[in-house]
Amino acid sequence: MDLLTQSISLLFRPRLKAIDSYALRADEIQQKQLNRLIESAKQTEWGIAYDYKSITSYQTFAARVPLQTYDDCKPYIERMVAGEKNILWPGSTQWFAKSSGTTNDKSKFIPVTKDILRRTHYLGGLDCTTLYLENNPNSRFFRGKGLILGGSHEPAALNSKSSCGDLSAVLLQNLSPLVDLIRAPSKKIILMGEWESKIKAIVASTKHKNINSLSGVPSWMLVLIKAVLKDTGRESLTEVWPNLEVFFHGGVSFDPYREQYKTLIPSDKMHYMETYNASEGFFAIQNDLTDKGMLLMLDYGVFYEFIPIQDVELESPRVMPLVEVELDQVYAMVISTLGGLWRYQIGDTVRFTSIAPYKIEIVGRTKHFINAFGEELMVDNADKALASTCLATGAKVKEYTAAPLFMLNKAKGKHQWVIEFEQSPASIAEFASLLDQELQHLNSDYEAKRYKEISLQPLAISVVPEGTFYQWLKEKGKLGGQHKIPRLNNLRTYVDELLAIGKIIPPPTTRSDS
């Protein structure tokens, strides 16, 4: 470690000591988070409604406060957006993180209070650096600049009192000017909303700088890397930025991209560090680069609860605090935060890979979805889009499933839909185009990824013969009313199996595949 980085890293020692205490004091730390959350919110409308003044234990909190989804919170959040004070959290909230929607909305708006900015999101960013330097004693981290690639929703006013944007845009908008000393490109460029222009501006601004760290979503960062290499005429990123040493990544699984990154950054000095940072909060960091499990961050003003995956669909599921979880079990995560989310079901499922300290890996979502490129496409989006497309074309869909199709050589991908029609449309190409448009209308993140095909190309439809899905269920031993076709999946297992069966079953002469 060079002298400058070594000197600055000494300032992080107290944080390392606090993080080390997670292994022995997890229950105590979590109870302290809950107590502070309740104390802070007892005079809010929510706190008064649930009599937070009289809550003295987790058991009382869990018995009194109901589990929440975004749709449950929405009426309160709308009032916060309108400028009302002391609703879910003390005071007023100016910023809201815009992310993909729920069953009823194209987008949802997550409160980003001053407290959650400072004590959760920014502390998470600081701890990423702290833990990385602990893992890499040869780092020259503070000798270069970090390239942060933000999201697709630029900061915008919701009204005279509230603004929204991607979480990354909200964080950068409120970031201390001191951080600009070690960050690139300029705030003006990183907050641009038009992606094609933004990528060009980032390349022009950073290609001659000493960039030694990257931060962002793997799929989007790959687009930027390709643009840098095309502009500079180089074969690898190490030729452009020879001191590059770490990529802090999150948002989507890194596994499909790992080999591509190794090819584009052929350096044994390069490290990859996963983080779990969502609009709702910062939750976990990979603290050991040889272990895929991420350390659950316990003192960020987030109180964690967990629902066993088999109970998720129950009307009254079992809900447990951190101290009761078991190793290698899958749970749906429930959070209470400094942003005013109370017993909020975030929708992510995690598996515990360690319990001393607590480490997790993200398994997926509580419902079927596709999030290979950050699009967070939900089954509800797919069902509604298909219904509208069928209405417009006169087609009738009998069964369908969809999965991502990666084209890493192009740093892009698409969704491949396998459809068995009861009544085929006159044109499969027209059907696919209308379906794609409907998905963009229903889901803002899908729309952003499809913009000018920077990351996500138009979806493709493969029509399979009548009986294909039935045969697939039969081979799985899942014939019967209780078994359902998995509609969306991040993995291609179902799609590939169905396509293989479809080739064996002779297609009707009236059908055409595309």
Please spell the DSSP secondary structure of 171-224, one letter per residue. HHHT--GGGGGGEES-HHHHT-S-HHHHHHHHHHHHTTS-EEEEEE-HHHHHHH
Find out whether 357 and 26 touch, Cβ atoms under 8 Å. Answer: yes
With a pLDDT cut of 90, the percent of the chain lying above it is: 64
Other C-beta atoms within 10 Å of 290: how many? Answer: 6
Contact partners, residue 278, CB within 8 Å, separation at least 6? 167, 346, 348
Beta-bridged to residue 249, according to DSSP, are: 216, 274
Q: Given this model, what pLDDT does residue 410 score?
A: 67
Query: Helix 122-135 crosses helix 13-20 at what angle (to 10 degrees)?
Result: 90
The two structure tokens encoding residue 218? 């793997």
Beta-bridged to residue 352, according to DSSP, are: 360
Other C-beta atoms within 10 Å of 28: how many? Answer: 11
How confident is the model over 218-244, as pLDDT tens digits?
Answer: 878 888 999 999 999 999 999 999 999
The pTM of the full predicted model, rounded to 2 decimals, is 0.80
pLDDT of 101 above 60: no
Contact partners, residue 434, CB within 8 Å, separation at least 6? 388, 389, 392, 393
How confident is the model over 113-123, as pLDDT tens digits?
Answer: 999 999 999 99
How confident is the model over 451-500, as pLDDT tens digits?
Answer: 988 889 999 999 999 989 889 988 887 765 445 678 898 889 999 999 99
Q: What is the 3-state secondary structure (H, E, C) of 415-469?
A: EEEEEEEEECCCCHHHHHHHHHHHHHHHCHHHHHHHHHHCCECCCEEEECCCCHH
The two structure tokens encoding residue 476? 């799985």
Find out whether 126 and 182 touch, Cβ atoms under 8 Å. Answer: no
Q: Given this model, what pLDDT does residue 302 score?
A: 98
Nearest to 33 by CA among 458, 405, 335: 335
Q: Given this model, what pLDDT does residue 256 score?
A: 67
The least confident of 242-251, 294-303, 371-380 is 371-380
d(CA 268, CA 265): 9
pLDDT of 511 above 50: no
Q: Given this model, what pLDDT does residue 288 score?
A: 95
The least confident of 1-5, 83-87, 139-143, 291-295 is 1-5
Helices (H), 362-401: 379-393
pLDDT of 141 above 60: yes
Backbone dihedral region of 320: left (phi > 0), alpha (psi from -120 to 50 degrees) or beta?
Answer: beta
d(CA 239, CA 234): 7
d(CA 362, CA 384): 27
Burial of 372 (0-12, 13-18, 19+ CB in 10 A): buried
How confident is the model over 379-430, as pLDDT tens digits?
Answer: 778 988 999 999 999 998 988 999 999 876 666 899 999 999 988 999 999 9
Find out whether 227 and 455 touch, Cβ atoms under 8 Å. Answer: no
User: Which CATH fold would you assign to the domain 369-504?
Assistant: GMP Synthetase; Chain A, domain 3 (3.30.300)
The least confident of 49-63, 155-169, 196-210, 430-444 is 155-169
Phi, psi of 84 (to 5 degrees): -70, 145
Report the amino acid identity of residue 438: E
Nearest to 436 by CA among 446, 427, 421, 448: 446
Q: Given this model, what pLDDT does residue 383 score?
A: 85
pLDDT of 166 above 90: no
Three-state DSSP state, 500: helix
CA angle 496, 502, 505 (to 5 degrees): 150
The two structure tokens encoding residue 289? 């680069």
pLDDT of 57 above 70: yes
Q: Given this model, what pLDDT does residue 411 score?
A: 67
pLDDT of 514 above 50: no
pLDDT of 513 above 80: no
What average pLDDT does the chain have? 90
pLDDT band at 152 (very low <50, low <70, confident <90, very high): low
Which of the residue ranges 217-221, 352-356, 509-513 has the most confident prediction, judged by mean pLDDT?
A: 352-356
d(CA 287, CA 296): 10
How confident is the model over 13-34, as pLDDT tens digits?
Answer: 999 999 999 999 999 999 999 9
Report the amino acid identity of residue 350: V
Phi, psi of 45 (to 5 degrees): -60, -40
Domains in the chain: boundaries: 3-115+281-365, 139-268, 369-504
Q: Residue 269's Cα: distance from chain center in Å? A: 27
- Per the listing, tokens 């989310």 go with 341
Q: What is the 3-state secondary structure (H, E, C) of 32-54?
A: HHHHHHHHHHCCCHHHHHCCHHH
pLDDT band at 507 (very low <50, low <70, confident <90, very high): low
Q: Given this model, what pLDDT does residue 106 score?
A: 65
Find out whether 199 and 162 touch, Cβ atoms under 8 Å. Answer: no
Q: Given this model, what pLDDT does residue 483 score?
A: 56
The two structure tokens encoding residue 49? 């409604």
Q: What is the DSSP string of 335-351?
A: EE-TTS--SEEEEEEEE
pLDDT of 436 above 90: yes
Q: Given this model, what pLDDT does residue 332 score?
A: 94
Torsion of Cα atoms, 12 then 17 then 20 then 22, to 10°: -100
- Per the listing, tokens 């000197």 go with 7
Q: Given this model, what pLDDT does residue 255 score?
A: 79
Looking at per-residue pLDDT, the higher value among 192 and 243 belongs to 243
